[in-house]
């Protein structure tokens, strides 16, 4: 547990290639400034001692060091003098194998406490560095439990989750982040979904034609950006408080449902993998139009049926093939056992007739009652040929667990527009849920919801001169959790939210594609349409991001066992 009122600092810095000594002197000066101002944990950028864009082993060879080594000894002098802790980014050489690594080092008053070697490489590391081989550790210190991640590592939901199931109080993320305005939505998601602090130290400036994003910051466990810096060398100060740690979600994980996280379904060509043994090939896919409708269901099935008919008709007239409606859109919220209906209810048959007439697929939410009077928070998928299938929510909210049983399996369905997976509301807060569906080859995840998410973090715009078409302008909707869920799993996500916080939308499979491929509802009610493409060029290999799933293919599941073995009570 972190000590009370722990003062922390993130250093933003532009290192210069081939000028290692100057970089170290400048970093030491910034560390001393932060320590004199009371910072007890000080974080420096990835590869801060040397710069980042190295061509090969030969070019970086004169700048690598062992850990511990000469450079860590210099920073240990500072930690010993000021009684503080540092995270340093540097290129490391292993004295036994002579392999090079992109490494983060945790240094305390007594010296090196531990290190993390970047496990999930970006495009540049394979030119000179080996994949990290130390896994994902959490280091217990007198000031708290500290986890280290390096840049690309945090694209993967599993890495930050591993830190937090090991009771990390703070993730120190050092990076050379690029290609978007920062603080990056990925950083915010990882703090929010794990209920922990995140200290982000990012570099800024340009190197070998690569423009880095700056935006170093301190992020609270509720996703709030406590403090940040847009560009330029400098220090961002913050404070960590133990009483605001948010651990409740971690206790409600369903590790027994996450076993597939240990498999690697995109290691092989997915076009071949999913059709192996002539079973479950991915649907052909095509260009389609999908939509979400946002409205507030009432506690009257007939009235909701009228509203659904209105939005379904409008969607069909606009050429929509798959429409996602909010959680409880058919029944309204659960009030008593009379609120729940069976799948054989006349309203469900009316919707079958409606979708047959409109030639439309509907995903909608309902409070469901089975033949034994067990209740579930459920989603139905209804189409022109009737009831295609259903899904029962696996992660129950506080409001739901007092009346509903949790579901115990994931559901995917192959439609003309692609492979569709279903989630419901609270499921979206658990990154494992979307990941499991993406690993099953989903092109689209449809998620009816009633989620009171934090307000979208606006961005005032950045002075960093990103290349066109990357946006540098102000944005009211900079951080949206569903947008990150779509991008991290390389799926289209249709999110229909009935909560007053709204912001339903369709989100594209690549969060770094500009302009963004998404549509958003910012009014109380509305319909958002998005043209999507799940098809593949005439090739034996995937040419579409939803079929190729780069961020799923680059996972390192051999490091992930704790995600399925740590008990909920832990």
Return d(Cα 1, Cα 141) in angstroms, integer: 9
End-to-end CA distance of the chain: 14
CA–CA gap between residue 569 and residue 50 (Å, rounded): 43
Q: Is 369 a catalytic residue?
A: no
Helices (H), 203-281: 270-273
72 token code pair? 């860590």
- Residue 326 CB neighbours (<10 A): 29
Task: Name the percent of the chain in helix, strand, coil, to the closest 5.
Answer: 30, 30, 45
Catalytic residue among 14, 20, 65, 151: 151
Closest CA to 211 of 16, 464, 17, 15: 464
- As given in the structure block, the two tokens for residue 129 are 């560095």
> Which helix (H) or strand (E) covers residue 103, if one does?
strand 100-108
β 457-459/100-108 pair status: unpaired
- Whole-number Å distance between alpha carbons of 404 and 26: 58
CA distance 407 to 162: 24
Is 118 tagged catalytic?
yes
Cβ within 8 Å of residue 321, ≥6 positions away: 288, 289, 290, 360, 361, 415, 416, 417
Q: What is the DSSP letter of 527?
A: E
Report how far residue 450's alpha carbon sits from residue 328's, in angstroms, rounded to the nearest whole number. Answer: 8
DSSP string, 430-474: SHHHHHHHHHTT-SEEEEEE---PPPPEEE----S-PPTTS--S-
Annotated catalytic residue, options 14, 46, 92, 158: 46
Output the six-digit token pair for 560.
């992930």
Q: What is the DSSP string of 333-351?
A: S--SGGG-B-TTSHHHHHH
The b-or-e profile of 237-248 (16+ CB within 10 A means b, else e) is bbbbeeeebbee
The two structure tokens encoding residue 47: 């590869």
Angle CA 347–352–358, to nearest 5: 120
3-state secondary structure of 188: helix
3-state class (DSSP) for residue 30: helix
CB 428 within 8 A of CB 397: no
Catalytic, out of 20, 118, 411, 549:
118
Using CA atoms, how far apart are residues 85 and 145, in angstroms rounded to an integer? 12
**CA contacts within 13 A on the Cβ side of 302:** 0
Q: Rounded to an integer, what distance in angstroms lies between the CA atom of residue 534 and that of residue 252?
A: 34
Task: Please count the other Cβ atoms lying within 10 Å of the Cβ belonging to residue 503.
Answer: 20
Residue 541 CB neighbours (<10 A):
12
Query: How far apart are the C-alpha atoms of 409 and 403, rounded to whole Å?
Result: 19
Which positions are annotated as active-site residues? 46, 118, 151
């Amino acid at each position: 547990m972190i000590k009370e009122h722990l003062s922390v600092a993130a250093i933003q810095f532009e290192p210069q290639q081939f000028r290692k000594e100057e970089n170290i002197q400048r970093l030491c000066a910034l560390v001393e400034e932060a320590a004199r101002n009371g910072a007890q944990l000080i974080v420096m950028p990835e590869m801060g001692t040397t710069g980042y864009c190295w061509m090969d082993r030969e070019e970086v060879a004169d700048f690598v060091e062992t850990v511990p080594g000469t450079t860590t000894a210099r920073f240990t002098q500072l930690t010993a003098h000021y009684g503080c802790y540092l995270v340093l980014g540097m290129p490391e050489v292993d004295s036994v194998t002579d392999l090079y690594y992109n490494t983060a080092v945790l240094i305390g008053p007594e010296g090196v406490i531990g290190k993390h070697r970047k496990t999930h490489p970006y495009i540049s590391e394979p030119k000179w560095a080996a994949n990290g081989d130390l896994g994902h550790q959490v280091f217990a210190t007198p000031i708290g439990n500290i986890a280290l991640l390096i840049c690309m590592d945090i694209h993967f939901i599993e890495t930050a989750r591993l830190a937090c199931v090991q009771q990390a109080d703070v993730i120190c993320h050092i990076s050379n982040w690029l290609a978007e305005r920062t603080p990056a939505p990925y950083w915010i998601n990882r703090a929010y979904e794990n209920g922990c602090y995140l200290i982000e130290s990012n570099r800024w400036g340009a190197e070998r034609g690569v423009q880095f994003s700056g935006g170093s910051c301190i992020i609270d466990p509720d996703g709030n950006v406590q403090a940040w810096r847009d560009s330029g060398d400098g220090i961002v100060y913050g404070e960590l408080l133990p009483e605001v740690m948010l651990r409740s979600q971690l206790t409600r994980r369903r590790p027994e449902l996450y076993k597939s996280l240990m498999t690697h379904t995109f290691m092989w060509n997915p076009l071949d993998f999913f059709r192996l043994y002539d079973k479950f090939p991915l649907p052909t896919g095509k260009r389609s139009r999908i939509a979400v409708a946002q409205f507030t269901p009432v506690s009257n099935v007939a009235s909701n049926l009228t509203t659904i008919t209105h939005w379904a008709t409008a969607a069909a007239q606009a050429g929509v093939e798959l429409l996602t409606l909010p959680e409880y859109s058919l029944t309204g919220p659960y009030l008593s056992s009379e609120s729940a209906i069976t799948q054989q209810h006349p309203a469900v048959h009316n919707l079958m007739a409606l979708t047959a007439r409109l030639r439309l697929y509907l995903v909608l939410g309902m409070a469901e009652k089975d033949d034994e009077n067990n209740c579930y928070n459920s989603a139905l998928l209804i189409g022109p040929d009737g009831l295609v299938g259903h899904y029962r929510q696996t992660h129950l909210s506080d409001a739901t667990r007092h009346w509903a049983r949790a579901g115990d399996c994931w559901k995917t369905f192959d439609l003309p527009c692609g492979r569709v997976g279903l989630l419901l509301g609270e499921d979206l807060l658990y990154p494992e849920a979307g990941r499991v569906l993406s690993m099953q080859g989903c092109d689209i995840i449809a998620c009816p919801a009633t989620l009171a998410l934090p307000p979208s973090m606006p961005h005032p715009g950045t002075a960093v001169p990103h290349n066109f078409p990357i946006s540098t302008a102000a944005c009211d909707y900079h951080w949206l959790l569903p947008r990150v869920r779509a991008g991290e799993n390389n799926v289209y996500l249709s999110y229909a939210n009935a909560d007053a916080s709204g912001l339903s939308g369709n989100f594209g499979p690549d969060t770094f594609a500009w302009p963004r491929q998404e549509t958003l509802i910012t009014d109380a009610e509305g319909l958002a349409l998005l043209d999507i493409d799940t098809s593949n060029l005439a090739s034996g290999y995937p040419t579409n991001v939803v079929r190729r799933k780069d961020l799923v293919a680059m996972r390192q599941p051999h490091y992930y066992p704790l995600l399925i073995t740590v008990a909920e009570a832990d």
